[in-house]
Amino acid sequence: MSVVRMQLKKKIKVAENQRVFVLKNQQLKQVLIPGNYSFWNLANQPEFISFDINQLFYREQNSKRLYEQSEVFRAHIDHYQLSEGEAGMLYLDGRLTGIVAPGESLYVWKDAGDIRLDRIHITNTLDVTSELQALFRQTGVNAANRLICSVNTVKTQPAAELRVPPAHVGLLYINGELARLLSPGDYSFWQFNRTIEMKLFDCRTQMLEISGQEILSKDRVSLRLNLNASFKVTDPQLAAVSLAKVEDYAYKMLQLALREAVGTKTLDDLLLDKLYINETVKALVAEQLKAVGVTLESVGVKDIILPGEMKAILNQVVEAQKAAEANVIKRREETAATRSLHNTAKVMENNPTLLRLKELEALEKVADKINNLNVYGGLEGLMNGVVKMT
């Protein structure tokens, strides 16, 4: 006769990082801690559910009911409830491990480690302390994927980290309203239940180039001009209220002013008064920019480029003008020389000695240019008679 031996026990091994729920008739009867267990194989077999406590949180849908009704459950689980005006700093074994969103309800395994939850009232608190900022940088918990919240909560970065560079000013907006001006530095603000934005303004002098502007002068000459301007934002708050983009507005105003300045003058007038465009453009634009918190510091025309045909004609005009000026100078010098000779002749007319000296000077110049000189009748014959030179 053969004997059939049936296994009467179910063996269960619970690892160090595990906890096992023992349920009978859907009721929690026992929580198994690490060790080896045996259970009889009966018709009404218990149900075993294993959990990894390294996951830290108990996230089952029945957590609230179990915590309220089961003392066995409460022996292994801690519960933390945050109000809508609180954020939580969750520490595990003394290290910040995550930021808990406002209004969250947490169920945490007690045996997972030394757990601590620090509460921060954020309803009337905007700034994150410098100590917490340092912890955020050290642990990297200030990120949307590190936020501890329920499945239905939209994850966002708990604190907005903002930086205002040197020589800049930041305008901080909370829910669309201006809250404060930020000087250069690093900032962090709680953004639970609020929208945080910042507009940056560079308060240094900035250069703006208006290039390649094709404009007709008053006498219908097509000119291409390049203009440089420098400006500075002096009232960031006024600029933020008045303008979307400071550079775009300044560019348009300078462009329109340049066209107005060039279009009301002829080419000759523009070339004659080279500072006219600079002064006119600045006068037209400075007050408009000042009204929106921007100071126009300087304006200067970089280039005035003429069409090829007009450039050739202008060169011919300049060449003719210079030739005429040279001719006038030449005639003026000839007149002066003739007048000088006339004055010299009048002086020599009444002074024979001076006339004699002038004759000797002329003879000296002649003698320098000839090889042979034959003189007849002495000096008197040379001066009054016939001079034969070969």
Mean of the per-residue pLDDT values for the chain? 85
- The yes-or-no verdict on residue 41 having pLDDT over 90 is no
Count other Cβ atoms within 10 Å, centred on residue 82.
18
CA angle 251, 257, 262 (to 5 degrees): 125
In this predicted structure, the answer to whether residue 204 has a pLDDT above a threshold of 60 is yes
The domain ranges of the chain are: 52-200, 206-306, 351-390
Q: Could you read off the pLDDT of 108-155 as tens digits, one per residue?
A: 999 999 999 999 999 888 999 999 999 999 999 999 988 998 867 778
Q: Is the pTM of this model over 0.85?
A: no
**Which segments of the chain does DSSP mark as H helices, in order?**
63-69, 71-74, 130-139, 236-242, 246-263, 267-272, 276-290, 308-349, 352-367, 378-384
pLDDT at 389 over 70: no
**Worst-scoring range by mean pLDDT, 160-164, 207-211, 340-344?**
340-344
For 10-78, give the DSSP string.
Answer: EEEEE-TTEEEEEEETTEEEEEEPSEEEEEE--SSPPEEEEEEGGG-B---TTHHHHHHH-HHHHTTEE
Output the pLDDT for position 140.
92
Is residue 388 pLDDT above 80, yes or no? no
For domain 206-306, give the CATH number: 3.30.479.30
Q: How confident is the model at residue 386 (pLDDT cuts 50, 70, 90)?
A: very low
* Residues sharing a CB contact under 8 Å with residue 78, sequence separation 6 or more, in sequence order: 107, 108, 109, 110, 115
Q: What are 230-280's pLDDT values in tens digits?
A: 999 999 999 999 998 999 999 999 999 999 999 888 888 888 887 899 999
